[in-house]
Chains A and B, each alone.
Chain A
Amino acid sequence: MDLGLIVYALNLASIYALMAIGISILWSSVGIINMAHGATFAVSGYAAWLVTGALKPVIAAAFGKTAIASAVMAGALVGSALIAGALCGVIIYLLAFLPIHDKPNFQVRALIVTLGLNIASVQGLLWTFGPRNQGLPKIFGFGRWEVFGTRIRYDQAGTIIGAIVVMGLTLAWLRYSRRGLEVRAMMQNAEGAAYSGISRQVTALPVLMLTGALAGMAAALLSQTIFVSPTAGVIPLVKGLTIALLGGLGSVPGAVIGAILVGFLEAIVGVIPFLGQRYVLFATFLFIIAVLIVRPRGIGGLLDDTRE
């Protein structure tokens, strides 16, 4: 196995991990399976496209063609994607959490509402912008590094590093901040957290904004490799969901391990001559089904009885 394959696998793994961690944290703390995660992804991609499109002449006029210009452009792209993702999180909070969080069947109903949001926003994007792919500015520039005789594209390296930085920040926030402590308490035992005075309504909003922003970040990073389109969110959603389940819902390390496993699996299946790209999804699902049959709660998941 050569280094390029490893880099490609890590590239995939970092995007998947960003999606899967968001889904996993949201499920274990608030109890929503967020089917609108893909829609958040697509909406953030479009928001970044609109903002960078509007700012391009302004930035060009202000900074010309310097390094600062591309840095400002990168900031605008990532920032707009993050903000759009967080706003999507707020919308999900207002529609799928706030009205029904104390009603019967909350989990199934939240799943259905987010599913409806997903369908509505994907169709809305399709209606507004049409099915055409939109290219975003390349914030990492074009070019490659020569490392140990292999070529690493800038966007791949940037994606891996960006994802690791964002994940590190998220985990640090969860580990060291007061709000993160509350979220972790809710992940461990929602009822116990409620008894210790942690409000579900108050904590759910930052969690939803955070996971939305993670999806936005994934969109910003993936937009360096592929184009933005209305249905761009479907594959990351399915991948994120499957990886979150593979890792065990609620387990962040499990999600990371699952993402790395699936990333490598896809990279390897993609280059095996008689299989090729069209079997990638096929192989992933077979792998996940096999793992789930052996470990019904995923890699890092605990049984519900143990959690209780």
Chain B
Amino acid sequence: MSGKRFYKVGRRPWELRLAPSGINERQRSRLPGTRGHWLKWRDVHNPKTLRRERVLADKMPLWWTLGLSFVAIVTPFLSNSLLSVVSIFCVYAAINVLWTLIVGTAGIFSLATLAVVGASGYVAAAANVYLGVPWPFMLLIGPMVGFVFGAVLAAPSTRLDGLYYALLTMGVAEICRVFVLQLRPLTATGGAITQVDSFIPEDWFLQRPGLLLGFAGAFLLLLGALLVWRLVNSERLGMLLRVARTGREDEAFAEAIGIDFRRARLMVFVISSAALGVVGAFYAMYFRSISPQIFSLDQMLMLFAMMVIGGLGRAEGAVVGAAIVTLIDKGLIELGPPRIILVAFIMIGVTIFAREGLTGARAQFRDFRNRKAGERRARRTEKGGEAMPEEATEVHDKQELYYRRFNKRLRERLKKLITPELIEEHRRDPLGHHSDELARVLNYFRRGEMADKYVIHRMVPAEEKFRVMAVSGQRGMPPRVIDDREYHDIKEAYHAVFLLRVNDLLES
């Protein structure tokens, strides 16, 4: 086998496949403190080379690492305005990842995400400005407020469902906005709390070092949100909820096997609300102020557009969508209103064409390609291919399939050769030296299956009387008479068999 060169076939010839040693034991390092592994390496058996190969079954961690490290490395070299755009992207992406946890994992269609962010941001900012709490404690107050607010919001979610709950949460956001706007101490600033203390020193604010520090904080926030997503979605809670994910039947099933999915949903909701509280406190610190704008419908719709463009219910969708929309919304700010129209059109286009946003496009394309391939296969069979696809999977000897296909093509060619002249030639001289066409047809007939053949029966008593019989093709079953015509010349009988075979060929 050593000198032989194999050419890679299939759809992924570029895929990296390691060749592990068959002698040594497999060494895999585990995540500290858990039984999980870092990457999902799987050993597979290559039926061609008969070797063991190691493939990476889940490549998402690689893409995450590449994407996030690209952002972390490139951003510090960007201009000041782009730097703040990237920081805002990180904050929005963090909010969206946590929102994805609520909408995707818990399956609660809540629109109060920004309300949770805003409320905890407001309380944390107020504690800092009016009570003099130092800024590190804001990061504790935020999640506490988020926790309480989330618990209050989550309570009706078991009773109401779908749109009714979405409306209720929209109402809560509106109530928050009105409540903040009518607060007497904030009337002077239009409802905003300003002069919030921050992790960015006062004289660095909006300067280069301050922006860099802000970006670092926002990036850490995004990493934290992704960690929360990973811990909730891929661990026990997420596993429980995946059972009860889609329909009413699944919920009933989950309940029947003892999963309290309502409680699991509430827990996911409360956990992500607490995490959103951290984002709220960060938001107030990053901008050194917080305004009622955060409760507005427009802002909520913008974040929703991000999730929809990226793919509802996936963390990578939330981040990709946030990147696209933030880049258009904040990066192209000189365009004016058309940039929002652009976002809306992207949203419409993605929704019409993609089933699950941009990040679901790959799976959708794969499904589409498989479907088209199946359709083509079906069409081939419809045209008279020998083996139906369903049948082909049953046939163990694949050689058989190709033989049948070859046979079909051969028959089609031979059908074209059958002409009145050819039949006349055979009638004149069934056993003589034949033309090339007739020789080919006769050769095909001779090579056929026994079951397709006919025999000539010399009738008793022995005289020159013949009739044609069809062979049964089964051992022990005698040939059967097909008609009562009798021939007095063996050559006539030969020609009759020829005509029968020609007839069979043309009918096949």
A residues sitting closer than 8 Å to B (CB atoms) are 33, 95, 99-100, 103-105, 108-109, 112-113, 115-117, 119-120, 123-124, 126-127, 234, 238, 241-242, 245, 249, 278-279, 281-282, 285-286, 288-289, 292-293, 296-298
- Contact assessment for A296 and B164 in the assembled complex, using a CB-CB cutoff below 8 Å: yes
- Contact assessment for A117 and B344 in the assembled complex, using a CB-CB cutoff below 8 Å: yes
Of B156, B305, B348, the most chain A CB neighbours within 10 A belong to B348
- Once the chains are docked, how many angstroms separate the CA of A79 from the CA of B312? 41
Q: List 16 A-B contacts (CB under 8 A).
A: A33-B163, A95-B348, A112-B308, A115-B304, A116-B347, A116-B351, A119-B341, A120-B344, A126-B337, A127-B336, A238-B297, A278-B181, A286-B171, A286-B175, A293-B160, A296-B164
- Once the chains are docked, how many angstroms separate the CA of A182 from the CA of B23? 73
The closest CB in chain A to the CB of B161 belongs to: A296
- Contact assessment for B167 and A241 in the assembled complex, using a CB-CB cutoff below 8 Å: yes
- Contact assessment for B163 and A249 in the assembled complex, using a CB-CB cutoff below 8 Å: yes
Contact of B337 among A123, A238, A279 (CB under 8 A): A123
Majority DSSP secondary structure for residues of B touching A: helix
- Contact assessment for B175 and A285 in the assembled complex, using a CB-CB cutoff below 8 Å: yes
- Asked if B362 is an interface residue, CB under 8 A from chain A, the answer is no
The closest CB in chain B to the CB of A288 belongs to: B171
- Once the chains are docked, how many angstroms separate the CA of A100 from the CA of B348? 11
Q: Contacts A119-B344, A120-B345, A126-B337 given: A282-B168 contact, CB under 8 Å?
A: no
- Contact assessment for A104 and B355 in the assembled complex, using a CB-CB cutoff below 8 Å: yes
Give the shortest distance, in Å, between A114 (CB) and chain B (any CB): 9
- Asked if B301 is an interface residue, CB under 8 A from chain A, the answer is yes
- Asked if B11 is an interface residue, CB under 8 A from chain A, the answer is no
The closest CB in chain A to the CB of B352 belongs to: A99
- Contact assessment for B340 and A123 in the assembled complex, using a CB-CB cutoff below 8 Å: yes
- Asked if B486 is an interface residue, CB under 8 A from chain A, the answer is no
- Contact assessment for B178 and A278 in the assembled complex, using a CB-CB cutoff below 8 Å: yes
5 shortest interchain CB distances as A-B pairs:
A285-B171, A120-B344, A116-B348, A116-B347, A119-B344
Beta-carbon contacts under 8 Å, B306-339 to A: 308, 312, 336-338
B304: A residues at CB distance < 8 A: 115
- Contact assessment for A117 and B178 in the assembled complex, using a CB-CB cutoff below 8 Å: no
- B347-379 CB mask vs A (1 if < 8 Å, else 0) is 110011001000000000000000000000000
What is the interface size of chain B, counting residues whose CB is below 8 A from a CB of the partner?
Answer: 36
- Contact assessment for B355 and A103 in the assembled complex, using a CB-CB cutoff below 8 Å: yes
A281: B residues at CB distance < 8 A: 174, 178
- Contact assessment for B348 and A127 in the assembled complex, using a CB-CB cutoff below 8 Å: no
- Contact assessment for A282 and B337 in the assembled complex, using a CB-CB cutoff below 8 Å: no
Beta-carbon contacts under 8 Å, B135-171 to A: 156, 159-161, 163-164, 167-168, 170-171
- Asked if B234 is an interface residue, CB under 8 A from chain A, the answer is no
Contact of A120 among B178, B181, B341, B352 (CB under 8 A): B341
- B198-236 CB mask vs A (1 if < 8 Å, else 0) is 000000000000000000000000000000000000000
B179: A residues at CB distance < 8 A: 282
- Asked if B69 is an interface residue, CB under 8 A from chain A, the answer is no
- Contact assessment for A296 and B301 in the assembled complex, using a CB-CB cutoff below 8 Å: no
- Once the chains are docked, how many angstroms separate the CA of A120 from the CA of B171? 23
Q: Contacts A112-B308, A292-B168 given: A282-B175 contact, CB under 8 Å?
A: yes
The closest CB in chain B to the CB of A119 belongs to: B344
- Once the chains are docked, how many angstroms separate the CA of A296 from the CA of B168? 11
- Contact assessment for B159 and A293 in the assembled complex, using a CB-CB cutoff below 8 Å: yes
A112: B residues at CB distance < 8 A: 308, 347-348, 351
A109: B residues at CB distance < 8 A: 351-352
A242: B residues at CB distance < 8 A: 167, 171
Of B156, B163, B344, the most chain A CB neighbours within 10 A belong to B344
- Contact assessment for B312 and A282 in the assembled complex, using a CB-CB cutoff below 8 Å: no
Contact of B343 among A103, A108, A113, A119 (CB under 8 A): A119
Give the shortest distance, in Å, between B355 (CB) and chain A (any CB): 6
- Once the chains are docked, how many angstroms separate the CA of A119 from the CA of B175? 22
- Once the chains are docked, how many angstroms separate the CA of A124 from the CA of B344? 11
- Contact assessment for A296 and B167 in the assembled complex, using a CB-CB cutoff below 8 Å: no
Q: Contacts A33-B163, A105-B355 given: A123-B341 contact, CB under 8 Å?
A: yes
Q: A112-B348, A123-B344, A296-B159 are in contact. List 12 more A-B contacts (CB 8 A).
A: A109-B351, A113-B352, A116-B348, A119-B344, A120-B341, A123-B337, A127-B338, A245-B164, A249-B163, A278-B178, A281-B174, A285-B172
- Contact assessment for B305 and A108 in the assembled complex, using a CB-CB cutoff below 8 Å: no
Give the shortest distance, in Å, between A163 (CB) and chain B (any CB): 23
- Once the chains are docked, how many angstroms separate the CA of A120 from the CA of B351? 14
- Contact assessment for A119 and B305 in the assembled complex, using a CB-CB cutoff below 8 Å: yes
- Contact assessment for B341 and A100 in the assembled complex, using a CB-CB cutoff below 8 Å: no
Give the shortest distance, in Å, between B85 (CB) and chain A (any CB): 20
- Once the chains are docked, how many angstroms separate the CA of A117 from the CA of B301? 12
Q: Contacts A234-B297, A245-B164, A293-B159 given: A113-B351 contact, CB under 8 Å?
A: yes
Contact of A116 among B163, B182, B344 (CB under 8 A): B344
- Contact assessment for A292 and B160 in the assembled complex, using a CB-CB cutoff below 8 Å: yes
B340: A residues at CB distance < 8 A: 119-120, 123
- Once the chains are docked, how many angstroms separate the CA of A103 from the CA of B347? 17
- Contact assessment for B352 and A100 in the assembled complex, using a CB-CB cutoff below 8 Å: yes
The closest CB in chain B to the CB of A298 belongs to: B164
- Contact assessment for A245 and B182 in the assembled complex, using a CB-CB cutoff below 8 Å: no
- Contact assessment for B341 and A293 in the assembled complex, using a CB-CB cutoff below 8 Å: no
Contact of B301 among A119, A245, A279 (CB under 8 A): A119
- Once the chains are docked, how many angstroms separate the CA of A278 from the CA of B163? 26
Of B175, B297, B345, B351, the most chain A CB neighbours within 10 A belong to B351
Give the shortest distance, in Å, between A122 (CB) and chain B (any CB): 9
Give the shortest distance, in Å, between A73 (CB) and chain B (any CB): 32
- Once the chains are docked, how many angstroms separate the CA of A95 from the CA of B355? 15
Of A108, A282, A293, the most chain B CB neighbours within 10 A belong to A282
